[in-house]
A and B are shown apart, each in its own frame.
Chain A
Amino acid sequence: MPQLPPSVPLSWYLALSLILFVLGIAGFLFRRNIITVFMSIELMLNAVNLSFITFSYKLKQVDGHIFSFFVMVVAAAEAAVGLAIILTVFKNRQTLEIDELSSLKN
C-alpha cells in the first residue's frame, strides 16, 4: 500500500472544489429528475463553500467562513422554497421529469 502524504498542498483543496463543481454542473445538465437537478445545485454550493474556506485559510482571515455561513443559510432557504415549488408542480402535473415540464416554453 503506498504511503499517503501527511499533508497536502493548498491547491489540492481548490482542485477538489473544482472537481465537485464540475460534477455538479454535469448532474445539472444531464439528469432529468427535478429533485436530482436540485441536489446537483446543492453540490455546486458545497464546492464553492470549500473554496471559500480554503481561501480563508490562505489569507488568514475569518471572512471566508462568514461568507460560507451565509451561503449555507441561503441554501437552506432555497431548499425550503424549491422543494415547496416541486411539491406544487407534482400536485398539478403528476410528473418529476423536467422534459415534460415545458409549458413555459410555448
Chain B
Amino acid sequence: MIFAAIAVVCAINLVVQTHPISSALSLVGVMGALAALYLLLGGEFIAAAQLVVYAGAIMVLFVFVIMLLNAGTEHKGHRTWAKYAGVPLLLVFLGLIASLIANRLPASENVVFGQFTKGSPLEIGRALFTTYLLPFEVTSVLILIAILGAIVLARKEID
C-alpha cells in the first residue's frame, strides 16, 4: 500500500512536471515501486527484470537522450481540443473500468505474500523455453531488428 502511494505520487509528478528530467526521475520512482509490488505478488524474476531493464537500461537511455538534446522546459501552448475532450473522456474511462473491477472482483480476496511461488526464475525459464519457445525466438529477432533500426536512424550521414 505504501508502494502504491509512492507509485501514484510519482506518476502524478511525471505528468505535472514541466522539465523532462524531473519526469524521467519520477518514472524511475514509479518503476521502483512497481518492482516492489511485483515482489509482493510473487514475481521475483519479473521484479529483478523490472529494476534492471526498465529502471536501469531504458531510463538511462531516456536521461541520456534528454541530456544530449539539451531539452528545456516546455512552453505553454494554446489549448487544443485534447484539453477539452480529454478530461471528460478520461474520467468516463476511469469510472467504467473501476466499476468493472468493483463488480467482477469482490474485495474479499487478500493478497498474501508467499502464496504464489511460481514466479521464480526456475519456473519462468521452464515455461519460456518449452511452451513459449517460438515467441522467445521471435523476440530475439525483433531485438536484432530494433538494434539495426536504431543504428541506421541515429548514425551520421557518411558521404
Q: Which residues of B contact A97 (CB under 8 A)?
A: 74-75, 77
* Size class of the B contact interface (CB-based, 8 Å): 35 or more
Which residues of A sit under 8 angstroms from B54, Cβ to Cβ? Answer: 42, 46, 72, 75
Residue-wise interface mask of A (68-102) relative to B, using a CB-CB cutoff of 8 A (1 in contact, 0 not): 11101111111111011111101000001101000
Contact with A along B6-31 (1 / 0, CB 8 A): 01100110110000100110010011
Please give the distance in Å from B54's CB to the nearest CB on chain A.
7
Would you list which residues of chain A between 21 and 79 have a CB under 8 Å from chain B?
Answer: 22-27, 29-33, 35-36, 38-40, 42-43, 46, 49-50, 53-54, 56-58, 60-63, 65-66, 68-70, 72-79
Query: Which interface class (under 10, 10 to 19, 20 to 34, 35 or more) fits A?
Result: 35 or more
**CB-CB < 8 A to A90: which residues of B?**
69
Interface of A is mostly: helix
Could you tell me if B49 and A86 are in contact, using CB atoms closer than 8 angstroms? no
- Contact (Cβ within 8 A) A14 B127: no
A39 touches B23 (CB 8 A): yes
A-contacting residues, B41-77, CB 8 Å:
41-43, 45-46, 49-50, 53-54, 57-58, 61-62, 65-66, 68-69, 71, 74-75, 77
> Given A14-B101, A65-B124: A87 and B68 within 8 A (CB)?
yes
Q: Are A14 and B11 in contact (CB under 8 A)?
A: no
Closest residue of A by beta carbon distance from B12:
A23
A5, A11, A13: the one contacting B37 at CB < 8 Å is A13
Determine the distance from Cα of A49 to Cα of B47 in the docked complex, in whole angstroms. 11
Cβ–Cβ < 8 Å partners of A20 in chain B: 7-8, 11, 30
Interface residues, chain B, with chain A CB atoms under 8 Å away: 1-2, 4, 7-8, 11-12, 14-15, 20, 23-24, 27, 30-31, 34, 37-38, 41-43, 45-46, 49-50, 53-54, 57-58, 61-62, 65-66, 68-69, 71, 74-75, 77, 80, 82-83, 86, 90, 93-94, 97-98, 101-102, 105-113, 115-116, 118-119, 123-124, 127-128, 131-132, 135, 139, 142-143, 145-147, 149-151, 153-154
| 5 pairs, A vs B, C-beta closer than 8 Å | A4-B2, A18-B98, A65-B124, A79-B58, A87-B154
| Given contact pairs A33-B74, A83-B150, a sample of 15 additional A-B residue pairs in the complex whose CB atoms are under 8 Å apart | A4-B1, A13-B4, A18-B94, A56-B116, A57-B41, A60-B116, A62-B119, A62-B124, A65-B45, A66-B127, A77-B142, A79-B62, A85-B153, A86-B69, A97-B77
